[in-house]
Amino acid sequence: MSAGGDGKASLNFSSKVRLPRLSVEQYVKGVRENNRTVLAQAITLVESNSAAHMEMAQEVIRQLLPHTGNSIRIGVSGVPGAGKSTFIEAFGTMLCEKGHRVAVLAVDPSSTVTRGSILGDKTRMELLSRNPQAFIRPSATGGTLGGVNRKTRETMLICEAAGYDVILVETVGVGQSETTVRSMVDFFLLLMLTGAGDELQGIKKGIMEIADALLIHKADGENRTRALIAKGEYNRVLHYLQPATTGWETKAYMCSSVTGEGIPEIWDVIGQFRETTVKSGGFEARRKAQLLDWMHSMAQDYLRATFFGNPQVAQLLPAIEQAVASGELSPTSAVQQLVAVYEKAIMK
């Protein structure tokens, strides 16, 4: 993104994405009919950074909006090795057997060095990926305008318009993406392991505070007894933490994707959560707040890209950075100089 001398931002993304020449109406019709080929193409359209694609994608989203919002949106995260993909496959398969249609959106942040992503979640959910009632979409954030915020949110809306009533958003680890996903789902499920060690306690506490339920995974065989102990320990900790959702008590549960024990129970918990929060008004209030958060996040991304994409700012920035790094200029003075240059440029 760049801004010319008149200060008006323009989208100048180069894109290697090749899309079929479908019209907006064809995209909308294909998504509404759950044509999986068109559904995948519509998501690719949303993920593209081409200015022309982004404009068309927004029109597709606008026409699909009346058909969205009818799903339960569930975020799934956990410490490395917790078995998120394994759980999602078992959980999603159970839901499909119950008659639900499940969309899995696997958020895979792009490398800040290579801009590449692994996108390996679909290969780890082989059984679920073959289920006609399920749709799995691994997506890279790409580090571009809106990142996980824009792309995952809009992909979620497209899946809802296609008739998927359960949306599972999987994050790759413990970090910033968890906070972002928390801001776009109704229910946030945190997978835990037994005996993870004291070194992870700080991470656990931070992410436990945004979870609506903790699930001790791999609670089978010799590990089942340890899972029971861990469940009790986590519940004691949760008793002293502020619940992530007003009017809802976050608790720890346990399950096994191998035996299936506890998986139906966590779906019941999510159902109770939805019933409780819909009745209290918290469900709708959270969704409205998330829309506003999305708007503010997009505005911040746009302003940041416009500022640093300004030719005058871009030209001055290397010298300013060098001056700050060498101690010749304070960060505050540096920002003031850059802002002055930017404001002068957009006033022309």
Among residues 279, 300, 319, the one where a domain terminates is 279
Q: What is the pLDDT of residue 199?
A: 37
CATH number at 113 reads 3.40.50.300
Tens-digit pLDDT profile for residues 245-268? 999 999 999 999 999 999 999 999
Q: What is the pLDDT of residue 158?
A: 97
Q: What is the pLDDT of residue 294?
A: 87
Same domain, 61 and 72: no
Q: What is the mean pLDDT of residues 218-243?
A: 90
Residues belonging to the chain: 348
CATH number at 322 reads 1.10.287.130
| pLDDT over 80 (residue 160) | yes
Among residues 29, 49, 66, the one where a domain terminates is 66
Tens-digit pLDDT profile for residues 23-32? 999 999 999 9
- Percentage of the chain surpassing pLDDT 90? 60
Rg over CA atoms, the chain: 22
What is the span of the domain harbouring residue 83?
67-279
Same domain, 52 and 88: no
- Do 169 and 152 meet the contact criterion of CB atoms below 8 Å apart? yes
Tens-digit pLDDT profile for residues 114-145? 333 334 445 568 889 999 999 999 866 555 44
| pLDDT over 50 (residue 112) | no
Tell me the pLDDT band of 34, cut-offs 50, 70 and 90: very high
Average pLDDT of the residues of the chain? 84
Same domain, 157 and 191: yes
Tens-digit pLDDT profile for residues 57-71? 999 999 999 999 999
Same domain, 208 and 72: yes
Q: What is the pLDDT of residue 14?
A: 38
Tens-digit pLDDT profile for residues 288-338? 999 998 898 888 888 998 999 999 999 999 999 999 999 999 999 999 999
Q: How far is CA 65 from CA 58, 104, 156, in A?
A: 10, 20, 11
| pLDDT over 90 (residue 11) | no
The set of residues, in sequence order, having a beta carbon less than 8 Å from that of 56 and lying 6+ positions away, is: 24, 27, 45
Tell me the pLDDT band of 225, cut-offs 50, 70 and 90: very high
Please report whether residue 284 resides in a domain. no
Q: What is the pLDDT of residue 178?
A: 72
Same domain, 142 and 152: yes
Same domain, 262 and 305: no
CA 66 to chain centroid: 22
Same domain, 81 and 217: yes
User: In terms of C-beta density within 10 A (0-12 exposed, 13-18 middle, 19 or more buried), how is residue 245 classed?
Assistant: buried
| pLDDT over 50 (residue 111) | no
